[in-house]
Structure formats: C-alpha cells, structure tokens
Amino acid sequence: MLLFILRRIGIMILTALCLTFVVFALTNLEPNLEKLAKTQGNVRMTDEQVATWLEQNGYTDPMLSRYGQWLGVFPGWTREDADGKISGRCISRDVPADIAPQRCGVLQGDWGWSTVLREEVSSVIGKRLGLTGILMFWVMALMVPMALIMGILAGMREGSRLDRSLSTISIATTATPEYVSGVILITVFASSAVGLKWFKGTATSAMDGITFENFTLPVVTIALYGMGYIARMTRASMTEVMTAQYIRTARLKGVSFHNIVLKHALRNALIAPFTVIMLQIPWLLNGVVIVETLFNYKGFGWTLVQAASNNDIELLLGCSVVAVVVVLVTQLISDVGYVFLNPRIRIS
C-alpha cells in the first residue's frame, strides 16, 4: 500500500510539473509580457522601451530557464547596470544583493508579487483559499449527504413514484445554472419582492464571521447545483446494484427490504459515486467563481478572475499551482478510498 501511494505521488509530481509548465508558457506569451511591461512601466512605452524593460526584468531568458527560476530550481537572474547597481529576480528593496538567496521560486516559498493586489502572492492565496475552503466545507457537508440520500431513495425502487419525483428534482436542480438559481434564491429569500427576507443577499460580511443568515444562500446555491448530479449518479449505481443477482439472493434469503438496502446494496452502490464526489472538489474550487461574484464573497474563484482579467501573471500561476495540486490530491484520495470501498481490488 505504501509503495502504491509513493508511486502515485511520484506520478502526481510529474503531472504537476507538466501542467504548471503549460500554464507558465501560456501566461508568459509575448503579448502578455508586453502588456505587463506597459502596466508596470508606462502605458505609452515605445516598442524599444518595452524590449528594454523586459530585458531589465529578466523576461528575455529562454522559457525553460524562466520556468526553472520560477520553480526555484535554477538560480534567479541577476544583472549589473551600467552604474553598477545589481538587480535580479531575488533582489528587491528589502533584500539587498549581498544577502539575497541564489534561488527564489515556488519551492523556496517565494510565489512572487501580485501586481494587482500589491501583495505577496502566497499571502493572497492563503487568505482567499481559506475563505473558499470554508464555503466548500459547508457545501460538501450539505450536498453530499443530501445527494446520497436522494440517490439511494430514488434508486432502491426503480420506477416508483418516489424515484420519479426525486429524479425530477435532481434533474431540475442540475439543469438550473448557479446564476439562475442564485438570483431566484435571492429574490425569494432575501429581497423585498417576496418579502421573506430570511437571509442576506450578500455574503460580504461572511468573510469576517459566518452566520446562518449571511452564509446560507451561497452554500445552498452551489449545493443544489452539484447535488442533482451526484444524486443521479448514485441513483444509476443503486438501480444497477438492486437488480444484481446477489440482491436476489438476499431477498430469497428472507432479508427484509430495508436491510437489503442498508446492508447489501449500500456499500456496493457507493463505489461509483465516490469517484464523482471526489471529482466535485476541484470542480467546486474553480466553479465557485459565479457564486462568489454573485454574493460578493472574495474567495479563490474571485481571485482567479481578478488575476486573469488583470494580467497578473504571478498570481495566476499561483492559482493554477493550487488548482493542479487540489485536483491531483483529490484523485489520490479517491483512488485510495476506492480500494477501501471495493474489496475486489484490495491489495493481497
């Protein structure tokens, strides 16, 4: 088992390197850099000035070497000006040339400087990821149990009235995008149009402290959307299991219906949805963009949008590293969990 996990981690690291390199190459394309130079320097720079700026800031090195520097495996660039002033990747006002480390990249914990938020990328991501993490936790806590219960109730008697009504609900919620359901929810529960005013239509205050009032609507909006999907998967898996021969065996053994569902069908039916649930985590991380914008909750999705629209290369890279790591880690968890759910592929 340990060997298996080590191998998987090895493959994960390789995948992460490839993926981040792709993102790095795409964000560091010529036009992006030119835009960066103009926003950092002067909007009315001439082409020559742009070229000089790029050269002075180390952007003219080959792509691979820049990627290595960003990663922190190659030494950061240094150059000496005509007047003897040394500048370099790892040298800044706070860190003069004589004490600057040779390498400074992601591996050394130096994730760069966000040009838009004027802050260290690592602290931005840490803060925003934390906020989204709280949101995700509540979404999962609501969505997964609800979806599993719905799926199992629907799937245990295929074609029954319960199955049809639950299926209709889950299809309807999945078919409604978050920006529609979010608006509807706000209208019904938070505006004076209906007049219920149970919850707040914005989650800005939730960034300082979560209350039932300010956090319910964003959580419900995301959970509704994802719930239908998982419920459908669970239902499909459950109906398949319920027609399996070993369920007939159990039935003809005299096992009562609720014990058939709970003891015989449940574990087998959860094998397939488990993978789907694990895939939901990375989807949530990036998919919260709409809801975060809608409810003005400045989390990870919001940061990603800001970084992308403002050509904030280092922040964007930081976000993508986080996204890649989350995807790969959840996949690892899903593979390991699968082994525990399904005794047929357990290691001898």
The set of long-range contacts for 262-266, using a CB threshold of 8 Å and a minimum separation of 24, is: 265/156, 265/238, 265/241, 266/152
Residue at token pair 């039916």 = 269
Amino acid at 69: Q
**Number of residues in contact with another protein, rule: CB under 8 A?**
30
- Sole window of 9-17, 82-90, 254-262, 285-293 interacting with another protein (rule: CB under 8 A): 254-262
Residues 6+ apart with CB under 8 A from 172: 228
- Can residue 341 be called a binding residue for another protein (CB under 8 A)? yes
- Sole window of 113-121, 209-217, 253-261, 276-284 interacting with another protein (rule: CB under 8 A): 253-261
Give me the sign of the Cα torsion angle 127, 303, 104, 95: negative
Give me the sign of the Cα torsion angle 83, 89, 95, 98: negative
Query: Smallest distance from the beta carbon of 181 to another protein, in angstroms?
Result: 35
Applying CB under 8 A, among 115, 167, 268, 306 the residue interacting with another protein is 268
d(CA 172, CA 166): 10
- Sole window of 53-61, 82-90, 174-182, 337-345 interacting with another protein (rule: CB under 8 A): 337-345
- Can residue 84 be called a binding residue for another protein (CB under 8 A)? no
Query: Smallest distance from the beta carbon of 344 to another protein, in angstroms?
Result: 5
- Can residue 255 be called a binding residue for another protein (CB under 8 A)? yes
Strands 78-80, 113-114: pairing is unpaired
DSSP string for residues in 63-99: HHHHHHHHHTSSPPPEEE-TTS-EEETT--SSS-TTT
- Can residue 345 be called a binding residue for another protein (CB under 8 A)? yes
- Site residues for another protein, 213-252, by CB under 8 A, read 244-246, 248-252
Task: Between 152 and 220, name the residue whose CB sits nearer to another protein.
Answer: 152
- Can residue 332 be called a binding residue for another protein (CB under 8 A)? no
- Sole window of 122-130, 169-177, 313-321, 339-347 interacting with another protein (rule: CB under 8 A): 339-347
Query: Smallest distance from the beta carbon of 244 to another protein, in angstroms?
Result: 7
d(CA 342, CA 334): 12
Applying CB under 8 A, among 43, 99, 193, 347 the residue interacting with another protein is 347
Angle, CA 117 vertex, CA 111 and CA 119 arms, to 5°: 45
Is residue 112 classed as helix, strand or coil in its secondary structure?
A: coil
Task: Between 89 and 264, name the residue whose CB sits nearer to another protein.
Answer: 264
- Site residues for another protein, 4-23, by CB under 8 A, read 4
Is residue 262 classed as helix, strand or coil in its secondary structure?
A: helix
Task: Between 85 and 248, name the residue whose CB sits nearer to another protein.
Answer: 248
Task: Between 14 and 345, name the residue whose CB sits nearer to another protein.
Answer: 345
CA 237 to chain centre: 26
- Can residue 253 be called a binding residue for another protein (CB under 8 A)? yes
Interface residue list for another protein (CB under 8 A): 1, 3-4, 159, 244-246, 248-256, 259, 263-264, 267-268, 271, 339, 341-345, 347-348
